[in-house]
Structure 1
Amino acid sequence: MARSVEEKPEIYHCESLEEQNSPNTRGISALAASEDEPQTPYQLGWRTTVALLALSMANVCAALSNTTNTTIKFQVAALARSPADASKASWIANGNFLIVLAMGPIFGSLSDRLGKKWFVVGGPLMGIIGSMVSGSAKSVYQIIGGNILTGFANAGCIVSISCIQEIMPNALRPWAMGVSQFMASAFVVLGTFIAAAFVRDNTGGAGGWRWAYYFNGIIYGLTAVSISIAYFPPKPRLGRRNQLGSIFRGIDYLGILIMSASFTSLIIGLTWGGNTYSWNSKQVTATLCCGCIGLVIFGLYEAFVVKEGILDHRLFQTLNFPILLFVCTIDGMLLLGVNVLYSQQIFDLFSQDAVRIAVILSPYLITSTFGCIPAGWIMASTKSYREMLVMALLWCSLFTGLMGTVNANRLSWTYAFSALFGIGTAVTTTIPVVALGLSVPSYLIGTAATISISCRALGGNIGITIFTAIYSNKYASYVGAKAASATEQGLAPVDVNQSARAWKYVWLAIAVLVAANGVAACFLKSVAPMMNSHIESALEGGKVREAQLQAIDITGDT
C-alpha cells in the first residue's frame, strides 16, 4: 500500500528508461503501481471547477477555429481573382491542420518539462492575431497565412487536454473530458450558426464571413484571460528533475526537423495531386516520395537513435499507445474531414444559403455534442471503454455508409443518417484521448495527448485531400473535365445528380476506413487499474498540493 505523500515525497519522481522498460514493469498494472495514490484525502473544490471550465475554453478555441471552414466556398468566391487562387482553397483548412500536426507534439513535449501554462495562455494570444489576419484578408493567400498563425495557436490550445486530465483524479478523467468535449462541441454548433448568419447578412460588408474570424478572435482573447487567472499548477515532474538549460539541450531538434519536413512534403503532395498537378506528375510523385521516406527515417531515428525524443520510448510501455494513435488518425479523417466536406456537399445538393447549410448540419453537430458527457460518464462508472469504442466506430461506419445513398431529393435521409453517426462521433471524440492518457506515464501526458491530436490533424489533412480527390475525379468522370473545371471556378452550376453520385464514393471510403478503425480498437487493453485516485497536478490547497510544490526528485535535491 502506498504511504502518505508526507512520508514518501519521492512518489513524484520519474523512473529511468531502463526501469520502465524492464520486463517486470510493463503494462497497465505496472503503470498503476508506479503512481501511488495519495493517502491524504484530496477534495475537489471550486479552484478545480473554475480551472476545468477555463481550460475547456482552450479546447473550445481549437475546435471553434474549424467552423470558419464551413464558409470556405464564400471566402473563395469573395477573394479569388483567378483559377489559381481558387485551387488554393484546400489550404485554407490544411494550413491550420498542418501546423497543429507539426507543432502539437513539440509543444506537448516541452509542456511536460517547462509547464503547460505557457502554452495554454500563449496559444490563445496567437489565435487573436491569426483571426484578425484572416478576417481582414484581401486575398486567399492572406487567409491561409492567418490560418497558419491560428495553427500555432491551436497547437498551444490542445495542451489544455492534458491539463484537464492532470488536475483531476485518474478515475474522474473521463467525466472531465466529457464536459470539456461537450463545451467544445456546443461552441462548434454555436460558431457554425454564427458564421452562417454573418455570411447571409453580409455583416460588415465585403463578405460577412470575415466576422466569423473576428468572433473566434474574441473567444481566443477571453480564453487567454480566464486561464491566466484560474490555472496555477505545480511545476511538472520532469521539470523538477532538470534545470532549464538541460531541458533545452535535451530537445530533439533533429527529430522535430525531420518530422515537420516529412509531414509538410506529404501534405503538399496530397494537396497538389489531382488539383494543381496530375497525380502522376513529377511534382506530386517527388513530394509524396520525400514525405514517405522522411517518415520512415523519422521512425528509425526515434526508435534507435534517441530514447527521449518526440516519440519518447516510455510512451510505448503498452500496445495501447500505438493502437490509439491509429484510432485517432482515422478518427481525424471522420471528424475533421466530415466537418469540412459535409458542408460542401450540402452546398452542392441542397442549399447555398449559409444559414440553411448550418441547419442541415445541426443534427450531426447536436448529437455529437450531447453524447460527450454520457460517454465520459459511462467510462468513469464502468472503468471500461473498449467495447463502447468498438461499437461506436462500427455504428459510425454503418451510417456514414448510408450517407452514400443521399441525393437532392432525400433531405430527410440526410438529417436522420447524420444525426445517427453523430452519436457515434461523441464517443470517438471523448474516449480515445482519455484511454491514451491512462495508458502512458502521467508525467508524459502532455506529449501523449498532443501527439494524439496531431494524429487527428494528420487524419484530417489526409482525409480532406483524399476525399476531395475522390469527389473531383468522380465528378469529372461523370460530367467531363471541362465542365468540372468550369464548376470549380464558379463559371457553371453544379450538376446535382452527378454530384450526388460522386459524393457517394466519398462516404463509402469513409465507411470502410472507420470500419477498419473498429477492428483495430478490438486489440486495446483495459485501463481499469489506472483509474485510481492519483492526481498529477493538484490545484486545491492541502497536503497533496504542498507535497507537489515542494517535491524532491530521486536524487533528493529540492
Structure 2
Amino acid sequence: MDIEKTSTKHTEKNLASQDASGLRRLDSRYVDNYHGVHLKTILVYIALCLVYFVQLFNVVGSGAYARNIAAAIGGASDTVWLSQAIVIVTVVLGPPASQAADYWGRKWFLVVASTFGFVGALILARANSMNQAIGGQVISSVLYIGQPILIAVASEILPRKFRPIAQGGLNLAGAAGAIVGLLAGSAFTTNNLYGWRNYWYIVTALLGASAIIIGVLYNPPPRPLQKSLTLKEKLGRLDWVAYILLAIGLTLFTIGLSWGDNPYSWSNAHVLAPLVVGACFIIVLIVHQTFLKKDGLIHHELFKNDRNFAVALGCFFADGMIFFAANNYFAFEVSVLYETSPMLVGLHFCVAFFAAVVASCSVVLITMFTKSIREPIVVSFVLFMIFYALMATADLGSAKAVWGYPVFLGIGLGWSLTYLVTAAQLSAPPHMIAVTSGILLAARSFGGSVALAIYTAIFNSSLSSKLGSGIAAAVVPLGFPPAELEQFIGALASNDQAALAHIQGVTPQIIGAGVHALQSAYLASFKGVWIAAAVFSGVTVIASCFIRNPSKDLNNHVDAPLEKEA
C-alpha cells in the first residue's frame, strides 16, 4: 500500500513537472534573451543560405534540362520522374525527418542530407541511361529532407523579430540559385549534347562544400529532449503508423497522378489503381491523425494557439498548385510561341526570380517599419492572380509583353513563401518549429503534384482537340492533300524541317499557315492552364485574409541561440 502511494505521488510529481515545463516553454516565447548576433550565428546562417541555393539550383535543373538528358541517353517518356522523385521524397520523408530532428538534433540531418545529395548528383552527372539518371535523382532527393530543418534553424537561431528577414534571406538565396541554374544550364546545353553533365558536376561540388561547412560551423547546444530521452524513448515517440501510411498513400497517389495521360489514359488501371489505393491510405492517415493519434506527426497542439497554422497550411498547399503552373508551362509557352534561343527562353523565366530577389530584399524594409504579415501574403496571391490573368489574355503578338508579366509572379513568390512560413512558425509551439516546417513543405510539394496532373489534363485535352482540326482547316483549303496531314502535323509539332521538305504538296505558304494554326492551338491550350491557376490564386486570396497579424510574437526572444551568454 505504501509503495502504491509513493508511486502515485511520484507520478503526480512528474506530471506537475511536465506541466510546469510546458508553461515555462510557453512563456519563453516572450522572454528577451537577445544579446546581439554573433559571428558564429552569421556564418551558420550563410551556410544555410548556401544549402538552399544548391537545392533550388538542383530542382530547377531537373525540370528545365530533363529533355536534354533524354536527348543524350534516351528515355524521353520517363523524364517526369526526374522532378517527381524530388516531390515524392520531400512529401514522404520530410515531415518524419523534421520530427526526428527534435530528438536527435538538427546538425546531422542537414549534413547527411547534403551528403546523399552529393552522391546522387554525381551518379546523375555520370549516367548513361535514364534509369541511372532517375536512380541518381532518387538518392539526391534525400537532400530535400533537410529543407524544412534548415528553414527551422534559420528562424530559431535569430530573434523572432528578425524571422521574416531570416526567411526572406533564404528565399533570396533560393531565387539566386534558380537564376544561376537557368543561365548556367542554358550556356552548358547550347550546342552541347552532354552539357548537362557539367551542370550536375557543379551540383556535386556545391553539395560537398555545404556538407563540410555545416558539419564544421553548426554545433548547437543539445536540445532538451535530445539530452533527456533515451534511444528507446526517442524511437517510441516517433509516429511510425503515420510514416507508413504517409509513405504508401502519397507515393501511390503521386504515381497515379504522374501516369495520367503520361503514358496511360485516366481510365486505365495503371492510373486508377494507385490513385484509389493511395487515396484510401491518405484517408486512413487523416482519420488516424484526427481521432486516434492527437500527439503524432500532425500534433493537435499546432492548431491550439490560433488559426494561423491551419490557414498557412492550406495556403502553402495552394501555393504549390499555383507555382507549378508557371514552373512547367511558362518557359514551354515562350519556347513554342515567342523564342527559339534556349538562352532567351531561360532569361524570360529568370525575370521572375530577379523580381523574387527584389521582393525578398524588401522584406527588410517591411519588417523595419511594420509588423504586418497578413497584408504581404494577401498581396502576393493577388499578384499571382494578376500574372495568370495576363498570361490568359496573351496572344501571338505578345512577345514583348511576356517579358514583363513574370515580375508579378516573382514578387508574389518572394513574399508568399517568406510570410507564410513566418506565420505558421509563430503560430506553432517553439519546440515544434521543425515539424511545422516539414508539414508545410510537404503540403506545398503535394499541392504541386496534384496541380501538375490537373494542368496536364487541361493542356493535353485542349491540344488534342484543337491541333489536328486547326491545322487541317488552315492548310486543306490551300490545296494541301488530306492524305499527308498526319505526317505534316507530326513534322510541324516536332519542328522537323527536313521532314517537312519531303512531304508532297508542301509550299512555304502552307508551312506558314500550318505554323500559325499550330501556335493558335498551343495558345488556346496554355490559356486553359492559366485560367485554372488564376482561379486557384483568387480562392487563396480570400483564404489568406484570415491570417492573423502576430505582432506581439515578433519580439527579441531567440528560440535556440547558438551561444550561451555568461
Distance 1:267 1:335 in 2: 17
Distance 1:93 1:362 in 2: 19
Name 1:284's counterpart in structure 2: 271
Gaps of 5+ in 2: 1-14, 470-485, 498-514
For the residues of structure 1 that align with 2:145 and 2:120, how far apart are their CA atoms? 13
Query: Which residue does the alignment assign to 1:433?
Result: 421
1:240 shift after superposition: 3.5
Partner SS for 2:400: helix
Q: Using a 3 Å threshold, how does the CA distance of structure 1 residues 14 and 133 change in structure 2: closer, same or farther? A: farther
CA 1:420 to 1:402, structure 2 compared with 1: closer, same or farther past 3 Å? Answer: same
Tell me which residue corresponds to 1:78: 72
- Structure 2 residue 144 is the aligned partner of structure 1 residue 154: yes
Q: Does 1:417 align with 2:405?
A: yes
Q: Are the counterparts in 1 of residues 376 and 416 from structure 2 also a CA contact under 8 Å?
A: no
- 2:473 — aligned with what? none
Q: Which amino acid aligns with 1:75?
A: I
CA distance in 2, matches of 1:506, 1:469: 9
Query: Does the 8 Å contact 2:385/2:534 carry over to 1?
Result: yes
Aligned equivalents of 2:406 and 2:434: distance in 1? 33
Q: Which residue of 2 aligns with 1:332?
A: 320
Worse overlay, 291-300 or 314-323: 314-323
Larger radius of gyration: 2
User: Which amino acid is 2:429 matched to?
Assistant: P
What does 1:13-92 correspond to in 2, within 5 Å?
33=27, 35-38=29-32, 42-68=35-61, 69-80=63-74, 85-92=75-82
C-alpha distance in 2 between matches for 1:243 and 1:537? 22
Q: Is the Cα contact below 8 Å between 2:374 and 2:547 reproduced in 1?
A: yes
1:219: which partner in 2?
Answer: 206
Q: Which residue of 1 aligns with 2:290?
A: 303
- Matched with 1:180 is 170
2-structure distance, mates of 1:47, 1:60: 20
Distance 1:417 1:31 in 2: 46
Q: Distance in 2 between matches of 1:134 and 1:237?
A: 40
Query: Is residue 467–residue 522 contact of structure 2 (8 Å, CA) maintained in 1?
Result: no
SS in 1 for 2:266: coil
Deviations 1:417-437 (CA, angstroms, capped at 9, x unpaired): 112222122111211111111
1:46-97 per-residue CA deviation (whole Å, 9 max, x = no partner) reads 11111110112222222221121112222223332xxxx3332222211111
Q: Is the 8 A contact 2:67 2:76 kept in 1?
A: no
Contact 1:367 / 1:422 at 8 angstroms: preserved in 2?
yes
> Are residue 140 (structure 1) and residue 134 (structure 2) matched?
no
Separation (CA, whole Å) in 2 of partners of 1:488 and 1:77: 19
Structure 1 residue 173, shift from structure 2 partner: 0.9
Q: Deviations over 1:417-465 (max 9, x none)?
A: 1122221221112111111111101111000011111111112222223
Partner of 2:8: none
Equivalences for residues 13-412 of structure 1 within 5 A: 33=27, 35-38=29-32, 42-68=35-61, 69-80=63-74, 85-202=75-192, 206-317=193-304, 318-375=306-363, 377-379=365-367, 381-412=369-400
What is the distance in 1 between the residues matched to 2:368 and 2:488?
50
Q: Which amino acid aligns with 2:120?
A: G
Structure 1: distance between partners of 2:451 and 2:127: 27
Cα deviations by residue, 1:323-374 (Å, 9 ceiling, x for unpaired): 1111111111233442233222222223343212112222112101221121
**Are 1:447 and 2:441 counterparts?**
no
The 8 Å contact of residues 237 and 443 in structure 1, kept in 2 or not, is answered as: no
Report the CA distance shift for 1:483/1:184 in structure 2 as closer, same or farther (over 3 A). Answer: farther
CA contact (8 A) 2:148 2:434 kept: no
Contact 2:121 2:137 in 1 (8 A): yes
In the TM superposition, what whole-angstrom CA distance separates every residue of 1:480-516 from its partner, at most 9, and x where no partner exists? 4978995899586882221111111111111111111
**Number of matched pairs:** 515
Matched AA of 1:305: L
Q: Deviations over 1:166-200 (max 9, x none)?
A: 10111111111111211121121011100111001
Distance 1:444 1:201, change over 3 A: same
Query: Per the alignment, do residues 31 and 539 of structure 1 end up closer, same or farther by CA in structure 2, a change over 3 Å counting?
Result: closer
Higher helix share: 2
- Tell me: CA distance 1:321–1:363, structure 2 relative to 1, closer, same or farther (3 Å): same
Q: Work out whether residues 34 and 557 of structure 2, in 8 Å CA contact, stay in contact via their aligned partners in 1.
A: no
Q: CA deviation at 1:201?
A: 4.4
Tell me the amino acid that sits aligned with residue 56 of structure 2: A
Counterpart of 1:517 in structure 2 is 540
CA distance in 1, matches of 2:339, 2:182: 15
Residues 518-542 of structure 1, C-alpha deviations (whole Å, 9 max, x = no match)? 1111112222222122212112341
Q: Structure 1 CA distance, aligned partners of 2:367 and 2:427?
A: 15
CA positional deviation for 1:261 = 0.7
Contact 1:174 1:377 in 2 (8 A): no
Give the structure-1-normalised TM-score: 0.86
Identity %: 24
Q: What secondary structure sits across from 1:78 in the alignment?
A: helix
Asked if the contact 2:30/2:555 (under 8 Å) is kept, the reply is: no
Q: What is the distance in 2 between the residues matched to 1:17 and 1:297?
A: 32
Change in Cα spacing, 1:55 to 1:369, as seen in structure 2 (3 Å) is same
Which of 462, 469, 475 is the aligned partner of 2:450? 462
State the AA in 2 paired with 1:416. Answer: G
| Shift in alpha-carbon separation, 1:14–1:171, aligned structure 2, 3 A | farther
* Alpha-carbon spacing, 1:503–1:15, altered in 2? closer, same or farther (3 Å): farther
- What letter corresponds to residue 37 of structure 1 in structure 2? V
Deviations 1:105-126 (A, max 9, x none): 0111011221000111111111
The CA distance in 2 between the partners of 1:484 and 1:98, in whole Å, is 39
Q: Provide the C-alpha distance between the structure 1 equivalents of 2:446 and 2:375, rounded to a whole number of angstroms.
A: 26
Q: Is the 8 A contact 1:14 1:238 kept in 2?
A: no
**What is the CA RMSD across the aligned residues, in angstroms?**
2.6
How far the C-alpha of 1:375 sits from its partner, in A, is 2.7
Q: Which residue of 2 aligns with 1:528?
A: 551
Cα deviation for residue 385 of structure 1 reads 0.8
Q: Which amino acid aligns with 2:39?
A: W
